[in-house]
Amino acid sequence: MKIETSFELPNFDIYSISRFLNFEYLEFYREMTKFQQEYDEQTSHGTSAIIQEFWNRKIDTELKLAH
């Protein structure tokens, strides 16, 4: 999962900004849901300690890349 920290607004009228933000929100939500489903499937909803450690490292790496 990658979160962009900056973006350009296409136009500055309220309708365009609202549409743009709604689109970005839905795209992020879809990506987050996919990430969560992958996590749940691989870790058996967090019950597999070995796979959980892999995910802990993966999440730490993603968070470091976001900053």
Record the tokens describing residue 27, joined without a space: 């795209």
**The model's pTM:** 0.67
Domain count, the chain: 1
Question: What domain range is 40 assigned to?
Answer: 14-66
Burial track 14-46 (b if 16+ CB lie within 10 A, e otherwise): eeeeeeeeeeeeeeeeeeeeeeeeebeeebeee
pLDDT tens per residue across all 67 residues of the chain: 555 555 665 567 888 889 889 999 999 999 999 999 999 999 999 899 999 999 999 999 989 998 7
How far is 35 from 53, CA to CA, in rounded Å?
16
In a domain, 62, yes or no: yes
Other beta carbons within 10 Å of 59: 13
In a domain, 38, yes or no: yes
